[in-house]
Structures are given as structure tokens and as C-alpha cells.
Amino acid sequence: MFRILKKSLQTGVVTGQHPAGAAPSEPLSQDAIEKAKPFRRSLTIREVDTGSCNACEMEMNALANPVYDVERFGVHIAASPRHADALVVTGPVTVNMERALKAVYKATADPKIVIALGDCAIHCGMFKGSYAVTGPVDRHIPVDVRISGCPPRPAEILAVLEGLRQEPATSKT
């Protein structure tokens, strides 16, 4: 017990100790901010991988670590699409995952927003044109927010999620 307390005291608070990410290449649309309005104080995310290289997953996981601690902004990761307000989709949508993606979209309760995370989800990245790829994501389900990068840094994902929390009327993006 003493050892645990000592360690915690030595470590202190690490939340927020990260460099700022690059500015997003695509600004948030007013439509997206409007659509995200019901979730401003609490956004529950279901992450769906449709064929990424798993770097995007690692950065999504990093959002939950003590440094980024996304929960302090009311963002939670849900285990089921039935509990989610937002789908975060990564990867170029493979032939084998196409059905699963559509099923997940259908299972997510309305209203909902879809966030395409990473270059693959936005325009298939390096996998564009492959016989095994049918994406990008917006070919199969409507996409509201795009976060580019290969992969985007956690700070950049966080910045976009914060952008979604702004008041639609006063926002200037």
C-alpha cells in the first residue's frame, strides 16, 4: 500500500502533458457541430475497425491513457453500438468487413454521428483500388466528421472531439 501511494505521489498528475497536434486539414462543418449538439456534454463512442493497419486503434486507445484522459471531457468508449452516440470508423473498408460496418451503423441508435478516422477511412490511403477494398467509409455510410492523418495523433483527435463540444450558434470554424 505504501509503495503504491509513494509511486502515485512521485508521479503526480500527468494529464495534459503532451505537445499540441497539427491543425486539422479539414475544419469541422457547421452541420457536424449542429448534429453533435445533443452529445455536447457526453459523447459515447463505438470504434469500428474496417481494415486499418491498427495504428489508428493504438492512438484511439492512447486517448484513454492518463495523459489524454478523454473521459474528463465526457467522452466514453462503449462496448456495443447500441450504447453509442458516435461511430469512429478506421480503415479502408475491406470486402470482408463491408457487411459488418453496415450492420453496426444500423444497430447504432439515432441520432448518431459518424467520424472517419485516418487517411484510410477518408480516402482508402495506400489501399485504394485494391480488389479487397470497397471503401472509403462514406461510400457505405454517411460520414459527418473526418480526421486525417496516418495515423492522426491523439492530440489531434482530441482537438476535433473538443471542437464538437462547442455551442453551434457562437462557433466560428
Partner 1 sequence: MSDARPAVEQVQAAFTQAITEVCAAHGIPMLRVKKQDLPTVAHFLHTNPGFRGSLSLLWAVDHRPREARYELCYLFTLAEHKDWLLLVTDLHGDEREFPSITPHLHAAKWYEREIRDLFGLIPVGHPDLRRLVRHEHWPKGSYPLKKDFPWDRVLGRVQGEYAFRKIHGEGIFEVPVGPIHAGIIEPGHFRFSVAGEPIMQLEVRHFWKHRGVEKLFEQQQLNEAVPLSERVSGDTSVGHSLAYCQAVETLQGVEVSPRARYLRTLFLELERLHNHIGDVGAICNDTAYALAHAHCGRMKEQLMQLNDRLTGSRFLRGVNCVGGVALDLSGLQLAQVEVELNALEQDFSAIEKIVFANASLTERLENTGILTESIAWDHAVIGVVGRASGIDRDLRRDRPFAAYDMLQPKVAFYRYGDVRARMRVRLDEIHESIRLIREVRRSLPLGRLVSQPMHQPQPGAWALSAVEGWRGEILYVVMAGDAGLIHRCKVRDPSFVNWPAIQWAALGNIVPDFPLINKSFNLSYAGNDL
Residues that bind partner 1 (CB under 8 A): 3-4, 7, 11, 14, 18-19, 47-62, 64-68, 77, 79-81, 91-92, 94-97, 99-100, 104, 125-127, 129-133, 150-151, 153
What is the smallest separation between the CB atom of 10 and partner 1, expressed in angstroms? 8
Which CB sits closer to partner 1, 18 or 37? 18
What is the smallest separation between the CB atom of 109 and partner 1, expressed in angstroms? 16
DSSP state of 38: G
Which CB sits closer to partner 1, 33 or 57? 57
CA distance 47 to 115: 9
Task: With beta carbons less than 8 A apart as the criterion, state whether 154 and 68 touch.
Answer: yes
Which CB sits closer to partner 1, 50 or 148? 50
CA distance 60 to 141: 21
Sheet holding 86-90, edge to edge: 75-77, 43-49, 86-90, 113-117, 145-147
What is the smallest separation between the CB atom of 129 and partner 1, expressed in angstroms? 4
